[in-house]
Structure 1
Amino acid sequence: MDIKTKLSITKKSFVNPDCLLVAVSKTKPIEDLMEAYEAGIRDFGENKVQELQWKQPEMPADVRWHMIGHLQRNKVKYIAPYVHLIHGVDSEKLLREINKQGEKIDRKIPVLLQIHIAKEESKFGFDEQEVLEMLHSQSFNQMHHVVVKGLMGMATFTENEEQIRSEFKGLKALFDQIKSKDLPQLSQFDTLSMGMSGDYLIAQEEGSTLVRIGSAIFGARNNS
C-alpha cells in the first residue's frame, strides 16, 4: 500500500477532521516525504536536529517543520530561523534558550510545553505544578521571543486504553485550566498535541488538536 493510500485511510478514520496531522518522517528518505507532500501533507515532524538540517533544504519551501524530539539547548540555534513549532519544551532552561536564540534573529519561535503524563520515568516534561508556577513567573513574562502555542504530552506505552484515556483526559483538563486564565503571554494558546499512530483516535476523542503519526503512514521506522 502506497503512502498516499495510507494517508487517505488514516485521515478518514479521524474522529475530529479538524485535527492537524503531523507526518513523523524521522529516518525516512526524501522520496517518502515528497510522496506525502504530493498527497497534501505540509507538516513534517523530525526528532533529530541533524536530520532536520539536511532535509529542510531538500524539501519545498512551504513545508512546516516540527521538532518533535528531545531538544538539547546547544542545538536550538541550528533550527531557530525556520522551525515551525518546537514540541518538546520540557524545562524552563530550554525555553529560555529558545527565547535567547529568537532574540538574536528577531523571531518569535512557536513552542509547546511538554507535560509529563505517562507512568514512565523515561518520558520528559514539566509536572502540573511546575508549569503553572512558570507561566505565572516574572521570568516567563520577560520572554518576548517565544510563543507558547499550547501543551504536548505522550501517554504511557501500554495496551490499557483506560489508562491512556485517563492520561489524555488529565492533560486536556490542564490545557483548559491554563487557557481559562487568559494570560497576556498566552494569547495564541490553542494547540493540544497528544496522540500518535497507536493512540490518536483516543487522543482525538479526548480533545487533541494535533496528532503525530509516523508508522501508520510511512511504515516501520528505519534503523537510525
Structure 2
Amino acid sequence: MSITQNLQYIKSTLPEHVTLVAVSKTKPVSDLMEAYDAGQRVFGENYVQELVDKQPQLPNDVEWHFIGHLQSNKVKYIAPFVSLIHGVDSLKLLQEINKQALKNNRVIDCLLQIYIAEEESKFGLDEKELNEILSSDELKNLNNIKVVGLMGMSTFTDNQAQVKKEFQNLKAVFDKYKTLKTENCDLKTLSMGMSGDYELAIDCGSTMVRIGSSIFGSR
C-alpha cells in the first residue's frame, strides 16, 4: 500500500471529531509531500532539528506539532511556527514556551503529558503534579501559551486490557479537569493512541491520534 492509500484507509476509519497527526520523524520530505498531496495537513515531529529543517520545505498551510520530549533550550527554534506542543511535563517548560511565544508575538497551544504507562522510561506528570500546575498562580500569568488538553503514551505491550486501563485512566483525569476553564487553560484535546492502539484509544475517548508507521511504513 502506498502512503496515499494508507492515509485514505486510516481516515475512513476515524470519527469526524478525531484529529490525525501524521508522525513523520525520520521520513524524507518527499514522503511528507505525498501525504500532503493526499490531503494531510497535520504533521508531528519528534526532533527539533528535523522539524526546523523540514518546515520551510513544506507548504505554509501545514500545521506542525512537536511530539517529542522538548528541552527548554530548544523551544526558541520552533516557537516561530509550531502549532501545538505535545508532551509538556513541567511548569518550567511552560514558562519557557511562554517566553519564546511572547518574543514571536504568538500564543502557542500546549498539551500536558500525563504519565500513564508502567514503564520507567516514559515522561509525564502524575495527577498531583498536574493539579499543582493547573491551580498555580504562575500559570495564570502565562499569557502567550494555552493549555488545550492532555496527552499520554500507553505501555508498549501486547496486553490490550492493560493498555485499555491506561487509556481509561487518562480519560478519567481529562474529564475531571476539563471543567476548569481559565484565560489560558481549556482542555478540549485528548491525545492518545498510535499506530498499534489508536482504535482502542478512540474507543476510550481520544480526540487526537499520532500515527506514523501505519502511514509511512516502518522506520
Band of TM-score, shorter chain: over 0.9
| CA–CA distance in structure 2, aligned partners of residues 180 and 85 of structure 1 | 21
| CA–CA distance in structure 1, aligned partners of residues 194 and 120 of structure 2 | 19
1:30 maps to: 29
1:201 and 2:160 aligned: no
8 Å CA contact 2:148, 2:188 repeated in 1: yes
8 Å CA contact 1:200, 1:211 repeated in 2: yes
RMSD value, Cα: 1.0
2:190 maps to: 192
Q: CA offset at residue 84 of structure 1?
A: 0.6
| CA–CA distance in structure 1, aligned partners of residues 124 and 80 of structure 2 | 24
| CA–CA distance in structure 2, aligned partners of residues 78 and 180 of structure 1 | 33
1:56 maps to: 55
8 Å CA contact 1:26, 1:46 repeated in 2: yes
| CA–CA distance in structure 1, aligned partners of residues 94 and 182 of structure 2 | 17
Question: RCO greater where, 1 or 2, for CA within 8 Å and sep 6 or more?
Answer: 1
1:210 maps to: 208
- Which structure 1 residue ranges, 4+ long, deviate > 6 Å from structure 2? none
In the TM superposition, 1:1-224 aligns within 5 A as: 1-14=1-14, 16-187=15-186, 189-221=187-219
User: Given residue 130 of structure 1, which amino acid in structure 2 is its aligned partner?
Assistant: E
8 Å CA contact 2:145, 2:184 repeated in 1: no
Q: CA offset at residue 52 of structure 1?
A: 0.4
User: Given residue 195 of structure 2, which amino acid in structure 1 is its aligned partner?
Assistant: S
| CA–CA distance in structure 2, aligned partners of residues 195 and 143 of structure 1 | 29
Q: TM-score, normalised by structure 2?
A: 0.97
Q: CA offset at residue 42 of structure 1?
A: 0.1
| CA–CA distance in structure 2, aligned partners of residues 65 and 44 of structure 1 | 5
Q: Deviations over 1:70-108 (max 9, x none)?
A: 011100000001001000101111111101111222211
| CA–CA distance in structure 2, aligned partners of residues 181 and 41 of structure 1 | 32
Q: Which has the larger displacement, 16-25 or 29-38?
A: 16-25
| CA–CA distance in structure 2, aligned partners of residues 160 and 183 of structure 1 | 38
Q: CA offset at residue 127 of structure 1?
A: 0.6
Identical aligned residues as a percent: 59
Q: Deviations over 1:13-34 (max 9, x none)?
A: 33x2321000000000111000
| CA–CA distance in structure 1, aligned partners of residues 39 and 17 of structure 2 | 15
Aligned residues, how many? 219
| CA–CA distance in structure 2, aligned partners of residues 81 and 121 of structure 1 | 33
Q: Deviations over 1:38-94 (max 9, x none)?
A: 111000000000000110000000000000000111000000010010001011111
Unaligned runs of 5+ in 1: none
User: Given residue 18 of structure 1, which amino acid in structure 2 is its aligned partner?
Assistant: H
1:190 alignment partner, SS class:
strand
Q: Which has the larger displacement, 137-146 or 178-187?
A: 178-187
Q: CA offset at residue 184 of structure 1?
A: 3.9
Q: CA offset at residue 12 of structure 1?
A: 2.2
User: Given residue 28 of structure 2, which amino acid in structure 1 is its aligned partner?
Assistant: P
Q: TM-score, normalised by structure 1?
A: 0.95
| CA–CA distance in structure 1, aligned partners of residues 110 and 52 of structure 2 | 18
Q: Deviations over 1:117-160 (max 9, x none)?
A: 00011000111110111111111111111111100000000011
2:98 alignment partner, SS class:
helix
